[in-house]
Each structure stands twice: as C-alpha cells, then as structure tokens.
C-alpha cells in the first residue's frame, strides 16, 4: 500500500548517475498523494537540471543555502519545519560522510540537521566505495542516530562493475516512505471518530452552526487509519473528502450524530470526539421560512444530548478521548471536563489564538489524562494528529493487554 495523502516530502538529490531515477521518484511520490519539494546539491545539478524537478514537483527547486529569493520563498528552516519526512535519494558517499559529521555547509546538509522529521537516505555509489571502511562506519553511525538507510540494491552498476551500490527503485522507496507513517500502533483496533460541526435548523433555510471545518477530526481519523486501525468517521457537514481507508457516515444535527455514534459504539475499542457538537438546538424548528416582521425574534433553545458523556457512561465503554475548545485556563478547564465526563484522555485547544483551532490548518494541543499531561506544540493538524494518535495508542496499550479488546479496563 503506498498512500502518502497529505504528506510533505522534502526530496534531497545529491550528485550521482542515479539522480535521473529521482525524476521518476518525484512522479511516484506525487501519485501516492505527497506534496514534494526538491532540494539539490550543486553536484546533483551537473547530472539533472533543476528545471526537470521543478516541472515534476510543480514547485521551485532549492539549490543554495544563502539565496535571498529562495530563503524568502521557503528558507532552509521553513523547509525543515515543513517536512514530514526528508528523503535523500540518491545519497552519495560524500553526502553520507558529511551527514555523519554533522556538516552544515550547504542547503541539504543544513536542512537535515535542522529538521525534526525523520530522515531517510537511499545510498548510490560504486560497490568499492560502499564497502569501504569509511562508508561502513558512516552508515553505522547514521543508523545509530535514527537515520533510515534504504538499500542499496545489488546489481550492474553504471561504472560496469557488479555488486551493492545501486539506488533502490523509486517504487520501493515510495513503499518504504509510506511505511514510516504506517506505524501499526493501533493494528486491529476499531476507532470511532467524530468530526466537523453539527447544524441545528431554525427553519428550512436557517440554522445554528459553528466554524468547525472538520480538518482536525479528519486528520485524526487518517492518522488512526495509518496506525492500522479500522476507522469509522462520523462527520457533520464539511467540505472535505473522506480520508483514505476510513468509512464515513454523514450526519447533520447533534441528535443524528448521537444516534449514529450509538449505533456504532458497541463494536469500538476507542472513541475520539473531535466534533464541535452544538450544545443547544431550537426547541421547535419552524416548518416554513420565518418571515421578517421588524420585531425581535425569540428562539427557545433546548440542550442536545452530550454524545461524549453518554459514550463514557456506557457500562462497557471504549477508551474515550474528548476534545476541549477553550478560550482561557486551557489545561485547568480541560481537566474539569476530563473528570466531569469520565474520560480517559482529553485534548484541549485554545480557540482564541489566531491561526489555530477552528477552521485553521494548524493547532496546538494540551493533552491531559489522570496522572499525566503532554503539550503538543503548534504544528499542522495532520502532524499533530499523528502525535495525538501515538499518545492515545501509548495510553490505550498501557491499560489493555494484547488479548483484551479493551472493553473492561475501568
């Protein structure tokens, strides 16, 4: 399976005859759904022109560290932060050596030092160079530092010799990069996620709603699927496509979301409530459009069911994770909700901060559970969702054995 939906890949290309294969690699990464930015070393540009990679990636190619224009577009620190993964393919013997000694004398080496994302290299070189003690030591050191080493393959080399040193084929590299995200941490578990807003009708044309775009919940659903879970996503009205490998059930109102959740919950191991569910609905929605008569209009609102609290109160409740949309005292209010709703975990976001929370591409979460808390600093929602899912998996597995499907932990 090679699905890289919404993944940001920095592809580093270093000097070597295998650089021509990286053009195909860009194409295949994009076909798998990745957004690809290419960074080339100076010697790589002797083998393939930046224009080729620009055309294939649909983005300008970065080649120098101190290019004022490039730094303005997306400088090395921005690129390092942007990346979900940095893949260097081909990685020459010289580049491996510079990476091993922590060089920061060109854009690609600096970026590898500056990124918090996983770094993978696909070595390509003459077989003697690969077998040389210096390269062997460099590769051992890089591996010990957590750098992924993909390949090399054995076979006929451009220099006419036969042996190890060929860059892995692009399809193989795409599979391996995909594998970095397929953590398997929730393999075989069933996860139910709610996302988006609910809309409560006032009359046939008007409703009470909120600004939830669904981005956070959809990212959580995708991250759970990537972690190997069987995911059902119950979604209010949003403008997003269903994440790959999830089953989506569309609803409109809080009552419909409640009913859909309750119909599915019996089979679930984990419930994650990321939806912004309306707390009130109009007691009696008008059957016809309400006419404007210049007078004040009074609507009687009645509470909607609290879905999360209802799930957590089930006798055989799944592992329950709530979200909390707060505007002040974030951690304190989150803890109050954690206790009041009887949850296993809560992820709180400060929706008063510009650029995060509702309808934003980024978020920041304070995650609390009984006896612990973790700050997940501001980041794109898809990356944050992966961190949250790995934290949920950690906590979930701490409270369940492998045989236990998780319905009796409390």
- The reply to whether 159 belongs to the active site is yes
Report CA-CA distances (Å) from 202 to 250, 258, 278, 292, 299: 20, 19, 13, 14, 8
Q: Which position among 212, 235, 350, 366 is part of the footprint of ligand PMT (CB under 6 A)?
A: 212
Site map 182..211 versus ligand PMT, x via CB under 6 A: ------------x-x---------------
Which stretch, 72-80, 151-159, 268-276, 390-398, contacts ligand PMT (CB under 6 A)? 268-276
Contact between 265 and ligand PMT by CB under 6 A: the answer reads no
- Return all residues near 207 (Cβ < 8 A) that are at least 6 apart: 199, 200, 201
Contact between 254 and ligand PMT by CB under 6 A: the answer reads yes
CB of 269 to ligand PMT, least distance (A): 18
Which stretch, 1-9, 35-43, 78-86, 357-365, contacts ligand PMT (CB under 6 A)? 357-365
CB of 37 to ligand PMT, least distance (A): 24
Q: How many CA atoms lie within 13 A of 378 on its CB side?
A: 10
CB of 324 to ligand PMT, least distance (A): 4
Please say whether the beta carbons of 276 and 191 come within 8 A: no
Site map 304..343 versus ligand PMT, x via CB under 6 A: x-xxx-------------xxxx-----------x------
Contact between 260 and ligand PMT by CB under 6 A: the answer reads no
Using the CB atoms, write b or e for 375-392: b if 16+ within 10 Å. ebeebbbbbbbbbbbebb
In angstroms, the CA 375 to CA 385 distance is: 13
Measured between alpha carbons, how far apart are the two ends of the chain, in Å? 36
Contact between 236 and ligand PMT by CB under 6 A: the answer reads no
- Return all residues near 301 (Cβ < 8 A) that are at least 6 apart: 280, 281, 282, 283
Q: Considering the complex, state which of residue 149 and residue 240 has its C-beta at the smaller distance from ligand PMT.
A: 240
Contact between 41 and ligand PMT by CB under 6 A: the answer reads no
In angstroms, the CA 155 to CA 90 distance is: 16
The burial class, CB within 10 Å (0-12 / 13-18 / 19+), for 255 is: middle
CB of 310 to ligand PMT, least distance (A): 8
Q: Considering the complex, state which of residue 15 and residue 273 has its C-beta at the smaller distance from ligand PMT.
A: 273
Taking every pair of Cα atoms in the chain, the longest distance, rounded to a whole number of angstroms, is: 89
Q: Which residues are catalytic?
A: 159
Q: Catalog residues that contact ligand PMT under the rule CB under 6 A.
A: 194, 196, 212-217, 254, 273-277, 279, 304, 306-308, 322-325, 337, 349, 351, 357-359
């Amino acid at each position: 399976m090679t699905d890289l939906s919404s993944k940001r890949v920095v592809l580093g290309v270093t000097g070597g005859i295998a650089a021509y294969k990286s053009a195909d690699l860009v194409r295949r990464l994009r076909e798998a759904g990745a957004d690809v930015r290419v960074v080339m070393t100076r010697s790589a540009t002797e083998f393939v022109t930046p224009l080729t990679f620009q055309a294939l990636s649909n983005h300008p190619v970065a080649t120098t560290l101190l290019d004022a224009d490039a730094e303005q577009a997306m400088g090395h620190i921005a690129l390092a932060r942007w990346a979900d993964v940095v893949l260097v393919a081909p990685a020459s013997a010289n580049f491996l050596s510079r990476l091993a000694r922590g060089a920061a004398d060109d854009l690609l080496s600096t970026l590898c030092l500056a990124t918090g994302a996983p770094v993978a290299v696909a070595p390509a070189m003459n077989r003697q160079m690969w077998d040389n003690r210096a390269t062997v030591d460099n590769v051992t050191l890089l591996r010990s530092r957590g750098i992924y080493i993909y390949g090399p393959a054995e076979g006929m080399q451009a220099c006419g010799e036969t042996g190890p040193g060929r860059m892995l084929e692009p399809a193989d590299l795409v599979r391996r990069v995909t594998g970095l995200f397929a953590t398997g941490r929730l393999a075989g578990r069933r996860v139910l996620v709610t996302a988006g807003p609910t809309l409560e009708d006032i009359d046939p044309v008007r409703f009470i709603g909120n600004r939830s775009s669904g981005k956070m919940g959809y990212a959580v659903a995708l991250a759970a699927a990537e972690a190997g879970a069987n995911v059902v996503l119950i979604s209010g009205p949003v403008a997003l496509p269903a994440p790959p490998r999830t089953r989506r059930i569309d609803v409109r109102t809080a009552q419909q979301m409640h009913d859909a959740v309750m119909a599915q919950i019996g089979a679930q191991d984990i419930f994650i409530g990321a939806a912004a569910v309306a707390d009130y609905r109009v007691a009696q929605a008008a059957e016809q459009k309400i006419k404007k008569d210049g007078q004040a209009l009074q609507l009687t609102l009645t509470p909607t069911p609290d879905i999360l609290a209802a799930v957590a109160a089930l006798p055989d409740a799944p592992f329950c994770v709530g979200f909390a949309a707060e505007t002040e005292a974030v951690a304190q209010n989150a803890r109050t909700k954690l206790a009041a709703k009887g949850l296993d975990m809560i992820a709180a976001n400060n929706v008063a901060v510009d650029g995060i929370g509702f309808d934003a591409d980024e978020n920041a979460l304070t995650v609390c559970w009984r006896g612990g808390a973790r700050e997940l600093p501001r980041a794109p929602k898809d990356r944050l969702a992966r961190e949250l899912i790995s934290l949920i998996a950690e906590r979930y597995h701490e409270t369940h054995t492998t045989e236990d499907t998780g319905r009796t932990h409390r």
